[in-house]
Amino acid sequence: MKTEIIKSIGVILLSYLLFLPLSMGKDLNIYQIEVKKIDGEKLILKSMKGRPMLIVNIATGCGFTPQLEALQKLNQKFGPKGLIILGVPSNDFGGQTPGKNKEVKKFCSDTYGVTFPLTEKMIVKGVKKHALFEFLTKGGSGVWWNFEKFLINKEGKLVNRYRSWTSPLGEGFVEEIEKLL
């Protein structure tokens, strides 16, 4: 009898441990993810609740890097209306962001006048990708290249994803942003 109870408890415990990973991330939302600003300070995504976000993995030495200027223009136009643009530097594609966080921040600011928030450099692909990109790519393909754009609604849900070649000032792209404001 004792052996049967111990076996039953063992089976229940084993089942729980096996299926726990499947249920853990199920209700994860963007506001639970921890990120750090480029200067190392904690960035509280929960404080952005109720505002649409555009999250872009950026690079300093990529053919798409001039998009930083267009992203800054979006920031100037839609920031006052509630849009938050979050630039996420990554060195995952061709080593196109080799600098340290301080150098990346200076480059973005000095070269393109970037004033929107930047995070510290992150891994955006592969098994070691940051939780933010786990969330953004869940159920879809991984990040293909620098300057992929992820549009998040006011409730923190991913509403659309755009590849690198999508212009931040393109008519359809701007219309999508306007719908979320």
The residues spanned by each domain of the chain are: 28-180
DSSP state of 79: G
- Tell me phi and psi for residue 44, to 5 degrees: -90, 100
Which residues have CB under 8 Å from 160's CB, separation 6+? 150, 151, 176
pTM: 0.84
Lowest mean pLDDT among 8-12, 61-65, 99-103: 8-12
Fold entry, domain 28-180: Glutaredoxin (3.40.30)
| pLDDT value of position 140 | 85
Contact call for residues 118 and 88 (beta carbons, < 8 A): yes
Whether 108 is catalytic is no
138 alpha carbon, distance to own chain's centre: 12
Instruction: Give mean pLDDT, residues 131-146.
Output: 93
DSSP state of 120: P
Percent of the chain having pLDDT more than 90?
A: 82
List the catalytic residue out of 35, 53, 55, 62.
62
| pLDDT value of position 27 | 52
Q: Which token pair is 159?
A: 């509403």
Instruction: Give mean pLDDT, residues 133-155.
Output: 94
